Amino acid sequence: MPYSINILHMFPDLLNLYGDKGNIECMRKRLQWRGIEAKLIKCTYDEPFLDFDKVDIIFLGGGSDREQKIVCSKLLEYRKQLKDYVEKGGVLVAVCGGYQLLGKYYALPDEKIEGLSILDIYTEHGSPRLIGNIVLQNEDISQSIVGFENHGGRTFIGSHTPLGKVVKGFGNTGQSGAEGVCYKNVVATYLHGPLLPKNPQLCDMILEKALTQKYPDFAGLEALDDTMENTANTYMQDIILKK
């Protein structure tokens, strides 16, 4: 049976701060290189989206504060569909602003933005912004995760499992030693932009979740030639950990 995965990019017209395209392209290409069909669907600000049943991976990116405010009220209209999707085991990748919006709220100095309450987490604005390269270790994959974080918010994840332990960098609050959240098939993180191209194991973990969810007898992903990806990953680890 030919496999096929539908990736939904939510509000690419609003939440597109810095290279989210890299993550989408990485998922798409790593499916296609294995002969798996990958379709990209967009849910834009103007047109209502109804077909959550047909979606296998949802990507929710980051925006500037202004864009995030615009998107927030729009996103709340989809709260029930998104919540059902996640509880049924749908795969959702949320980055930066998208990560914050999954929580209960984001408290800014002068206002409180209501979130989707899909995760039992909340975010408070803090100063200074937490900016820099970061290395994480996730329990399920051997390759360290390398990326870049830039966030004013401090996210408190309660009893949720983090995406990884911070080896170097700030993470959720700058102090907790944890970064991101993994909940059911949700992967949420502050590591923005082209996170997945340099972290092929993390990308494949996400793809495998989606394929297993859709095809319960899915036998696992074939290996790809990741020489360039792995070199890029190790090279960044060396640079970040040396400093």
Partner 1 sequence: MKVFFAILAARLTAFLAKIRGGKSSSVPGAVALKICPDLVRRLSAQVRKGIVCVCGTNGKTTTNNLLCSALEGAGNKVICNKLGANMLNGVATAFALSASLGGKIDADYASIEVDEASTVKVFEFMKPNAMVITNLFRDQLDRYGEIDITVDLLTKAINMAGDVTLVLNADDPLCAAFGYKNNKQTLYYGISQKVLPQTDDTKEGRFCPICGGKQWYNYYHYSQLGDYECTKCDFKRPPVQVEATAVSLNASDITFKLNGSDMVLHYKGFYNIYNMIAVYAALTALGVSTENFSELLKSYKPQIGRMEEIVLDGKPVILNLAKNPAGFNQAIGTVLTDPRKKDVIIAINDNANDGRDVSWLWDVDFEKIWSDSLNTLTCTGIRLYDISLRFKYSDVKVDSTTADMKAAIEKTLKTDTEVVYILVNYSAMYTTEDIMLELKKKYGGKA
| Interacting residues toward partner 1 by CB under 8 A | 13-14, 16-22, 25-26, 29, 45-46, 64-67, 69-70, 129, 131-133, 148, 150, 152, 192-194, 197-198, 228-229, 231-232, 235-236
Cβ of residue 31: shortest distance to partner 1, in angstroms?
A: 12
Chain CA centroid to CA 194, Å: 11
CB closer to partner 1, 119 vs 229: 229
b/e per residue 12-42 (b: at least 16 CB within 10 A): bebbbbbbbebbbbbbbebbeebebebebbe
Q: Catalytic: 192?
A: yes
Closest distance to partner 1 from the beta carbon of 24 (Å): 9
Annotated catalytic, 125?
Answer: no
Catalytic residue among 26, 43, 192, 203: 192
Helix axis angle, 65-76 relative to 79-87, nearest 10°? 80
The residue among 25 and 208 lying less far from partner 1, judged by its C-beta, is 25
User: In sequence order, what are the residues at sequence separation of 6 or more whose Cβ sits closer than 8 angstroms to the Cβ of residue 159?
Assistant: 120
Going by C-alpha positions, the residue among 161, 118, 156 that lies closest to residue 136 is: 161
| 27: phi then psi, degrees, rounded to nearest 5 | -60, -45
Instruction: Pick the closer one to partner 1 by CB: 13 or 114.
Output: 13
Give whichever of 11 and 122 is closer to partner 1, judged by the CB atom: 11
Q: Provide the token pair at 235.
A: 């090279």
Q: 């990308």: which residue's tokens?
A: 203
CB 74 within 8 A of CB 42: no
What is the smallest separation between the CB atom of 210 and partner 1, expressed in angstroms?
Answer: 18
Helices (H) and strands (E) in the chain, counts: 6, 12
- For the CB of residue 30, give the shortest distance to partner 1 in the complex, in Å: 9
**Least distance to partner 1 from the beta carbon of 73, Å?**
11
Instruction: Output 115 or 147, the one with its CB closest to partner 1.
Output: 147
Backbone torsions φ then ψ of 74, nearest 5 degrees: -65, -45
Q: SS3 for 101?
A: helix
Determine which one of 26, 43, 72, 96 is catalytic: 96
What are the catalytic residues?
Answer: 96, 192
